[in-house]
Amino acid sequence: MADLHNKVAIVTGGASGIGRASALLMAREGAKVVVADMSERAGRDVVAEIEQAGGIARFQALDVRSDESCAALVAETLRHFGQLDIAFNNAGIFASPSLTEDQGLTLWQQMLEVNLTGVFNCMVHELQAMKAGGGSIINTASVAGIRGTFGAAAYSASKHGVIGLTRSAALEYGKYGVRINALCPGLIETPMTAGPGSGFSEQMINGAVRSTPLRRQGSPEEMAEMVLWLAGPRAAYSTGAHYVVDGGFSA
- Mean pLDDT value across residues 225-237: 98
Q: How far apart are CA 234 and CA 211, in angstroms?
A: 32
Residue 204 has pLDDT above 90, yes or no: no
Is 251 domain-assigned? Answer: no
Number of domains composing the chain: 1
| Tens digit of each residue's pLDDT (9 = 90 or more) over 95-124 | 989 999 999 999 999 999 999 999 999 999
pLDDT (mean) for 113-137: 98
Q: Tell me, letter by letter, the H, E, C secondary structure of 181-241.
A: EEEEECCECCCCCCCCCCCCCHHHHHHHHHCCCCCCCECHHHHHHHHHHHHCHHHCCCCCC
**Residue 2 located in a structural domain:** no
Decide if 250 is inside a domain: no
Q: Which domain holds residue 59?
A: 8-245
Whole-structure pTM value: 0.95
In a domain, 172, yes or no: yes
Residue 181 sits in a domain whose CATH number is 3.40.50.720
For residue 96, the model assigns a pLDDT of 87
Percent of the chain beyond pLDDT 90? 89
Query: Is 3 part of any domain?
Result: no
- The rounded distance, in Å, linking the Cα atoms of 214 and 149 is 20
| 1 inside domain | no
Residue 150 lies in a domain: yes
Q: Which of 155, 173, 176, 237 is catalytic?
A: 155
Q: Is 155 a catalytic residue?
A: yes
Pair 216, 247: CB distance under 8 Å: yes
